Structure 1
Amino acid sequence: MSYTENFQGIKLDVQAVNVPTGVSIQHRIQELLTRMQKHYAGITHADIYLEDKPEKSVQAKSVRIRLGIPGKDAFASDTGDSFMALLSSVEDKLLRQLDKK
């Protein structure tokens, strides 16, 4: 499943492979973007890629996020077993990058 929306002035593009993007994941992504905007106001777009590889027994899920900002885009990714935990991990990585800008 994939969807595109304009969230608080940010063009949000979510691609989800083998992942049902329920309300809880969409809400978590919106919370993540809200926190990102508090640290860096110049975010123009966010590309979020969620993937579940059911054939893998360990670390079957992956999350990759690219934030469009002036200059070089911020990018972070992680793999694991829980999308919510992965979103938190990737958020922390992105916040560290934005703090350096």
Structure 2
Amino acid sequence: MNYTENYKGVKIDVQSPSLDVSQEVQAEIRASIDKLSRFTQNINALDVYFNAEGNGSKATTTIGMRVGVPGPDVFAEEKGEQWIGMLKSVTDKNIRQLQKGK
């Protein structure tokens, strides 16, 4: 499932080739933009990549988030099991990168 949305002037592009993104996860992506906006007002785009590979105990899930800002974009990636928890983690990692860039 891929979808694009405009939220508060930020273009959201979500790519998840092997699974559907729930409404709850979409709401968490919007909450991530709200949280990131506290640290920079210049977010142009947010790209989120969901990936699930393998089956059973060998399954791996990965999420990546690129925040498009003037200058170099920031990117973070997380592996885990809970999409919401991983979204919060990559958001926090991107916030740390934005703070270092100030």
- Give the TM-score normalised by structure 2: 0.91
- Give the TM-score normalised by structure 1: 0.92
Task: Give structure 1 stretches of 5+ with no counterpart.
Answer: none
Whether contact under 8 Å (1:50, 1:62) holds in the other structure is yes
Residue 81 of structure 1 corresponds to 81
Q: How many pairs are equivalent?
A: 101
Runs of 4+ in 1 over 6 A off after TM superposition: none
Task: Give structure 2 stretches of 5+ with no counterpart.
Answer: none
Q: Distance in 2 between matches of 1:54 and 1:82?
A: 16
Q: How do residues 33-44 of structure 1 correspond to structure 2 at under 5 angstroms?
A: 33-44=33-44
Q: Distance in 1 between matches of 2:61 and 2:36?
A: 23
Q: Percent identity?
A: 33
RMSD: 1.4
Q: How do residues 1-101 of structure 1 correspond to structure 2 at under 5 angstroms?
A: 1-55=1-55, 57-58=57-58, 60-101=60-101
Q: Distance in 1 between matches of 2:95 and 2:55?
A: 32
